[in-house]
Every structure is written in structure tokens, then in C-alpha cells.
Amino acid sequence: MDNLEKSTKMSQTLGITRCRGKEFRWGERTYVMGIINLTPDSFSGDGLGGDVATALAQAKRFQEEGADIIDVGGESTRPGATQISADEEVRRVIPVLERLAAEITLPISIDTYKWEVGRRALEAGANMLNDIWGLKQDPRLAELAAEKGMPLILMHNQQGTFYEALIPEVMASLKQSLKLALDRGVAWENLIIDPGIGFGKTLEHNLEILRRLDEFKALGRPILLGTSRKSVIGRVLDLPPQERMEGTAATVAIGITKGADIVRVHDVAQMVHVCRMSDAIVRGKS
């Protein structure tokens, strides 16, 4: 029996993940991750381009509005975006991370798939790694998470949009990512999965994942759902990114009914309300 099988078998509940003095008690409520985008070319129109003062103000506002985690990213992942070097990504994110670590109390996640960026980010004050490639680009990120005892988010992603069986293939890929992390020493309770809405998937694939999100509970780890302002909403409603709040709210509410534990969003205040109302209905948490 390998590490993944042992961990899945031993896990009766999702347990507790600890990060920067906070406890994430999975299943008790939905947690909100606020997005700080330091790219100049964000698909959602909120890219700050490395503006430290504006990023700090936004993070403080998110904290006041009820966010539980701040997620900082320095490279655009929109379709067709130009890949940047690790050096450029570091230049964008490190000054912001240093200020955030000094001036806010929330856990800070770094959205990167590059080992060097992850290493520098943790040194600058990040407390969590968010890898959009689920260790498929650089498994050494797992070693960083293990060494620091920090949570690691593993997202499903692939080149192209062909699947013979969507849900089984996405789940198999996430299971492989979990095994990579466990084999490199990441604690089971520090692992979070993300099915990757909008990454290597068509409109129909994204909608099917939302309908069947509860099936991912079989992997035994909390689920992060990232639908905020994405093209799946734009294509259904025929709206630009800045007008997709109501569509995002619908995906968040339905995602919670299907088992989402964290939602990654741009509009924190509004989505905190959606989560609280949904939790009151779904989890009995008023």
C-alpha cells in the first residue's frame, strides 16, 4: 500500500489544516481566498502590475471584508498569455509579499508553479503554495512545502482539451499529484485539491465539473473552487469579466452545495455573503 492509499484509508474526516496561526476546520464552513493579481495583463482586468501600495490596500480591504486567505500571483495564466521568467515573477511578487507579511494577519498564498519563485516567496513571508500544474511542472515545490510544513494546493491542468472520460481522468491526475506530494514528505492534512476550472477544459467540461464536483470528495482532501469571472461564465452569459459577479455567485453557491471548501474570488465582500448564506443552508452554519 503506497502513501496515498494509506492516507486516504486513514482519513476519516478532512481534518484540520494549520497555517500562520489559523486553523482551517474543513467541513465547518466555506473559506474565501481573495485574489491579488500582480500581472499587467490579467484576463479579469484587475492586474496591478507590481504596484505594492495598491496591492497592500487591496489585501487590507479583503481582510476587512472577511477573506480567510490572500492569494498573490505574478504571472498571467490566461489562454495565450506569454510565459515570464522566474526572475521577472520574483521581481513582481517579492516586494508585495514582504509588505503583506508585515501588515496583514491572514495566511498568504503564492500562486506559482516555479520552484525558485516558491522558495523566494516563502522566504518573503508567504505561508502556502498554490501550484496550477499540480507538481507536473516542478515536483520540487512539494519538497518546499514539506520542509516548511506549509499547505500545498494541487490543481489539475493539461495541454489541450481532449478527454475520453473527463471526471475519471481529472481525478486520476489529481491522485497522481497527491502521490507526488506525499512521496516528497508533504503532510496529508496540508494538501488541498483544485479541479482546475478553465484550465485545459472546454465550456462543457467546466460545467460538467461543477455539476459533479462532489465526486472529487472521494480523494479525501478539501476542494478549492476557482470560477471567479472566468470564461465559462462569460460564455454562458455573454458578459465581459467585470460584469460576471452574479454568474460567479451562482457558481460559488452551487459549488458549496457540491462540496467546495475554499472559493478563490476577486469580489471578496460579495462572495463572503454568498458563502455565509450558502453555509447557513448547506452546513447549518448561521
Please indicate whether residue 29 is annotated as part of the active site.
no
Question: Beta-strand (E) ranges in the chain?
Answer: 16-19, 22-25, 31-37, 69-73, 108-111, 128-131, 152-155, 191-194, 224-225, 262-265
- Out of 264, 276, 283, 285, pick the active-site residue: 264
Distance in angstroms (rounded) separating the CA atoms of residues 17 and 157? 24
Strands 108-111 and 128-131: parallel
Residue type for position 254: I
Evaluate whether 231 touches 199 at the Cβ level (below 8 Å). no
3-class DSSP assignment, residue 101: helix
DSSP 196: -
* Gap between the Cα atoms of 227 and 74, Å rounded: 19
Other beta carbons within 10 Å of 200 = 16
| Residues paired with residue 69 on neighbouring β-strands, in sequence order | 33
Known catalytic residue at 221: no
Q: Which residue is catalytic, options 120, 175, 230, 258?
A: 230
| Residue-by-residue DSSP string for 198-265 | TSS--HHHHHHHHHTGGGGGGG-S-BEE--TT-HHHHHHHT--GGG-HHHHHHHHHHHHHTT-SEEEE
As a whole number of angstroms, the distance between CA 30 and CA 230 comes to 20
* Catalytic residue set: 230, 264
